[in-house]
Amino acid sequence: MKYKDYVAKVDYDEEADRLHGEVVNIRDAITFQGRSIDELHQAFKDSVEDYLAYCAELGEKPDKPFSGRFVLRTSPDLHRELYVEAKKEGVSLNQWINQRLSSFLHA
């Protein structure tokens, strides 16, 4: 599920007979629940709006969905090997790693 760039995953809680969702692309916790799909969608939107209003009330910036940048620490040897593979294919190391990660996720 997606709303205003916030992405959520949903699970079914058999004990409570409810759908339970959680926003997964920020560090802050935003959760919601519902008994039907329509109720779940509305609860998701309401929870995001409540979160944004709460942050505004506190005068704080809400946590934004991930920027697409992250630091990867690896050994110098592996760094060199990855760089060489990227150069062999005529792309930057960043492009090469993005291609490999995308292939892995969508295989």
Per-residue pLDDT, 68: 82
Domain range for 98 is 76-105
- 94 and 48: one domain? no
Half-sphere exposure of 10 (CA within 13 A, CB side): 16
Inside any domain, residue 70: no
* Residue 96 per-residue DSSP state: H
**Is the pLDDT assigned to residue 102 strictly greater than 90?**
yes
How large a percentage of the chain has pLDDT more than 70? 100
**Is the pLDDT assigned to residue 28 strictly greater than 90?**
yes
Q: How far apart are CA 19 and CA 78, in angstroms?
A: 43
Other CB atoms closer than 10 Å to residue 101's CB: what's the count? 10
Per-residue pLDDT, 6: 95
Q: What is the mean pLDDT of residues 94-107?
A: 94
3-state secondary structure (DSSP) of residue 29: coil
Contact 40, 31 (CB under 8 A): no
pTM over cut 0.75: no
Calculate the average pLDDT of the chain.
94
Per-residue pLDDT, 69: 84
Per-residue pLDDT, 89: 96
Q: For the chain, what is the domain count?
A: 2
- 50 and 97: one domain? no
Express each pLDDT in 29-77 by its tens digit. Answer: 999 999 999 999 999 999 999 999 999 999 999 998 887 888 899 999 9
Inside any domain, residue 63: no
- Report the DSSP beta bridge partners of residue 23: 8
- 46 and 87: one domain? no
Helix axis angle, 93-105 to 76-88, nearest 10°: 90
Q: How far apart are CA 106 and CA 6, in angstroms?
A: 21
